[in-house]
Amino acid sequence: MSRQTPSTTAPVPGAPSGTGGPDTPARRAGPGAGERLAAAAERTWRPVALLAACLAAWWAVSAARLVEPYLVPSPGTTLQVVRDRAGYLLEHSWVTTYETLLGFAIAVVLGVLSAVLMVHSAELEKTLYPVLLFAQVIPKIAIAPLFVVWLGFGITPKIVVAVLIAFFPVVISMVTGLKSIDPEMLELSATMGAGPWRTFAKIRFPASLPHLFAGLKVAVTLAVTGAVVGEFVGANEGLGYVILQANGNLDTPMLFAGLLIMSLLGVVLFALVELAEKVLLPWHASRRADSVTTTL
């Protein structure tokens, strides 16, 4: 009597993974719409609650007349100004947005190039790093008038100030990312015959992107500040001009409206950089989200 061997079912070509038999683990289903909404609500309710508390405190102070209205206008008065002067504020907001984005883009390009050069040349790093640190500690509001004298009252001085303020976080975060590579990975790459450029493109640069995006989120908000500081010194358009004119005319509702729009601009640009990080680095974003979820 011959011994029979248990028969096995061959996988069907083209069949999805997880359907070959009872011992095959089922593919994990993605989160549904309800789970995504619940996760979004969990992430956002705390900042929304804090913002609501700040608005309530602002309204309570103005309603109780603890501060004179010409010093601190009510939220309703500020929103009324935003609604009545929407065209005026939108026009000046676009100018500041353009200066911010252009200055931020230039700072990113110069910061990444400087970081790459500094990482690949120790002598260059020893030369540039003290100069960058010295330039960073100089108050930009103190040297902004010089740019107006040298470059005129056009858009160029505002962009230069935005570049100077946003440049330092970019170069520091990129240098940190490029230096955080495991030396064993570099040795393995050299052993497999990869040249310096291929090692940079395949290992160093991808691994440095999480650090770079951390610096970009800081830099984009600082670029807004830099553009507005440049407008404070000499301009006839932009949110800095609006705030300066409102302050000179004691028009505090318009002053608060300009400050709110400037803050909103920074938040929106920060959110766009964070969205770009999630799109370009899904592995990093998902790992960070999982770690945060498991610690709560």
Domains of the chain: 79-281 (1.10.3720.10)
- Over 60: is that where the pLDDT of 15 sits? no
* 3-12, 60-69, 280-289: range with lowest mean pLDDT: 3-12
- DSSP code, position 24: S
State the CB neighbour count (10 A cutoff) for residue 171: 25
On the question of pLDDT at 22 being above 70, the answer is no
- Quote the pTM value: 0.80
Q: Give me the mean pLDDT over the 22-35 stretch.
A: 56
Model pLDDT, residue 29: 53
Gap between the Cα atoms of 248 and 262, Å rounded: 18
The segment with the largest mean pLDDT, out of 9-13, 25-29, 172-176, is: 172-176
- Quote the CA–CA distance of 286 and 159 in Å, as a whole number: 35
Across the chain, what does the average pLDDT equal? 82
pLDDT of res. 291: 47
In the prediction, which pLDDT does 288 show? Answer: 53
Cα end-to-end span (Å), the chain: 63
Nearest to 110 by CA among 59, 21, 174: 174
State pLDDT tens for residues 199-225: 787 888 888 999 999 999 999 999 999
Rounded average pLDDT over 57-65? 86
pLDDT at 30: 54
Core vs surface per residue 71-92: b (16+ CB within 10 A) or e: eebbeebbeebbeebeeebeeb
Greater pLDDT, 150 or 195: 150
Which residue's structure tokens are 């969990």?
42
Mean pLDDT for the stretch of residues 131-143: 85
Q: Are 140 and 167 in contact (CB under 8 A)?
A: no
pLDDT tens for each residue of 91-116: 999 999 999 999 999 999 999 999 99
